[in-house]
Amino acid sequence: MDGSLHLQTSVLKARQGVIAALACFSIPILCPAQTTPHGSGTSAAALVTQQASLLSEVPAATQSGAPVPVTLQDAIQRASKIYSQYLSTVADAQVSREDFLQARNAMLPSFGYTQQYLGTQGNGKTPSGRFVTNDGVHVYRLWGVMHQDIPAGFFAGSSYKRAQAGVALAEAKAEIARRGLVVTVTRSFYTLISAQRKYVAAQQSTDQAQRFVEDTSKLESGGEVAHADVVKAQLQLDQQRIVFREAELAMSNAHLALAVLISPLFDENFSAVDDMDHMPVLPPMPELREQAARQNQDIRAAVQTLHQANADVSIARGGFFPTFSLDAVYGIEANAIALHSAAAAAKDLGPLPNPGYFITATANVPIWNWGTTRSRLKQAELKRAQAQADLTQTQREALSNFYSAYNEAVAARAEIETLRDAAGRAAESLRLTILRYQAGEATALEIVDAQNAIASARNALADGEARYRIAIASLQTLTGQF
């Protein structure tokens, strides 16, 4: 793996220079020759600073040239902090929790305080002044107010239940996104590991082809083999060099793809820890089936969607019933801010107590709205029927997906041992064929076939082990961690 790490470091240094050049070419404001027009403020300068810092900021590990080892769990943890699609579902879940809090609080009375001064122009004759609605020229109002709305369906808690189902639905979607993120990172991570192994295998095959060219050249000089063997060896070397370059490109692209997922600054100076030889255990089918029944988030989301639809039907049906509201006020409304004072309209009665309360109860009875309420109820019922159909469909698909993912994992796991045996046999076959060729018992074509066989076997083994890891991650999207 030292060759792959050396390649990653050299490619990183070259790419940093290219990125800086492309940034200046594609973003004109980053070029030193550009000037900011007068009066445009500091936004352009701030953008220059921000872009320059983003392009020039390099972590300490990159500056020191030491790649940071990254395991699969490290990669998943990093991606969970920066992957926008996953963060979007997490934000939606947080918003839903706030909606639930607001729906719960809406069922509780609200309290407020109001303070007013009502100044009325006097007329010199009546104590109430020119406005008959007031009981004095100077009126002071200090109220503590309690307000409570009682819509239809209040006691059934329809809005509260809908918000509660919304929270559960958003959390289920966030969990689906998290499991999907794990699959995405796992696929990218083991694609890189597989590409690294193929790179090493291509390097070894190139070295073997180079040695074969040297051996055939020496044997030709001694008159032991024909020149045709040298030609075949050289053709094989050329082919292996092409394969090596393609493997190098595939590894670089896989490294970039993983860097996009796990690095906020697109820092490529890391090395993926190869753990494909340690395969996770696949639990038996009954255990996973039970786990999938309890932790399948797609079914959970469909169930919560149905709960929301049921609550919507209750809310729509409540439009046929009266709504109520209650306001209770306690405080002072008098000609003076005092516990006792004489009323301007009845000063002969002397000081009277000012603090008191009044209650306003309101009932709104729907009579006719041209069928709008009935139309809303029909809409809600249609959505509920569709939610029920979606739930049953999701249940069937979840069962099918579970068996399909489990069978994929079983098949991938069973093939790994075969692929390992094949790689071992291919290596032994190449060794024996080389010995036979040196003894004059094998042809150059057999050497070429043996070299191609071991390269194919090694690549197939890398793909097979990566396939099993990805299959496990896909299965865990249905069952949760195991």
Ramachandran angles phi, psi of 148, nearest 5°: -145, 120
CA dist., res. 48 & res. 34, Å (int): 11
**Contact by Cβ (8 Å): 276, 465:** yes
Of 116-125, 163-172, 255-264, 300-309, the range with the lowest mean pLDDT is 116-125
pLDDT at 125: 72
Long-range CB contacts (within 8 A, 24+) of 397-406:
397/298, 398/292, 398/296, 398/298, 398/299, 398/478, 401/478, 402/288, 402/289, 402/292, 402/296, 402/475, 402/478, 402/479, 405/471, 405/474, 405/475, 405/477, 405/478, 406/285, 406/288, 406/475
The pLDDT, as a whole number, for residue 119 is 83
- Tell whether the model's pLDDT for residue 31 goes beyond 70: no
* Higher per-residue confidence, 458 vs 156: 458
**pLDDT above 70: percentage of residues in the chain:** 85
pLDDT higher than 90, residue 204: yes
Are the CB atoms for 465 and 416 separated by under 8 Å? yes
According to the model, what pLDDT value does residue 336 have? 87
Residue 458 is encoded by which pair of tokens? 């090694």
DSSP character for 347? Answer: G
Please compute the mean of the pLDDT values over residues 173-200 and round it to a whole number. 95
For residue 22, the model assigns a pLDDT of 37
Q: Does the structure show a pLDDT above 50 at 393?
A: yes
Phi-psi region of 325 (alpha: psi -120 to 50; beta: other; left: phi over 0): beta
Asked if pLDDT for residue 111 goes beyond 90, the answer is yes
Question: What does DSSP say about strands 138-150 and 110-119: parallel, antiparallel, or unpaired?
Answer: antiparallel
pLDDT of residue 54: 43
What is the structure's pLDDT at 322? Answer: 93
Query: Which tokens hold the place of 421?
Result: 């045996």
| Separation between Cα atoms, residue 285 and residue 295, nearest integer Å | 15
pLDDT of residue 130: 61
pLDDT for the residue numbered 452: 93
DSSP H or E stretch at residue 401: helix 372-438
- Spatial separation of the C-alpha atoms in residues 207 and 191, rounded to whole Å: 24
Does residue 422 contact residue 460 with C-beta atoms inside 8 Å?
yes
Report whether 145 contacts 112 (CB < 8 A). yes
The 10s digit of each residue's pLDDT in 261-273 is 999 888 888 999 9
**What CA–CA distances, in Å, run from 415 to 171, 396, 400?**
37, 29, 23
pLDDT of amino acid 183:
95
The widest CA-to-CA distance across the chain, in whole angstroms, is: 142
Q: Give the residue, 375 or 349, on which the prediction is more confident.
A: 375
Judged against a pLDDT cut of 60, whether residue 326 lies above it is answered with yes
Q: Is the pTM of this model over 0.85?
A: no
Weakest-pLDDT range from 59-63, 118-122, 232-236, 457-461: 59-63
pLDDT of residue 219: 85
Q: Report the alpha-carbon distance of residue 35 to residue 29 in Å, rounded.
A: 8
What are the pLDDT digits (tens) for 132-162? 667 778 888 899 999 998 888 888 888 999 9
The residue to which tokens 């006097």 are assigned: 122
Q: What is the rounded CA–CA span in Å between residue 409 and residue 468?
A: 6
Give DSSP secondary structure letters for 208-244. HHHHHHHHHHHHHHTTSS-HHHHHHHHHHHHHHHHHH
What is the rounded average pLDDT for all residues in the chain? 85
Residue range 405-420: average pLDDT? 94
Rounded distance, CA 367 to CA 376, Å? 16
Q: What is the pLDDT of residue 343?
A: 82
**pLDDT exceeds cutoff 70 at 26:** no
When pLDDT is cut at 50, 70 and 90, the band that residue 47 belongs to is very low
User: Dihedral of CA 214/220/221/223: which sign?
Assistant: positive
Instruction: Indicate the helix (H) or strand (E) that contains 5.
Output: helix 2-26
- On whether the CB atoms of residues 376 and 368 are closer than 8 A, the answer is no
Please check whether residue 479 is in contact with residue 283, taking contact to mean a CB–CB distance below 8 angstroms: no
Condensed to tens digits (0 to 9), the pLDDT of residues 63-86 reads 456 889 999 999 999 999 999 999
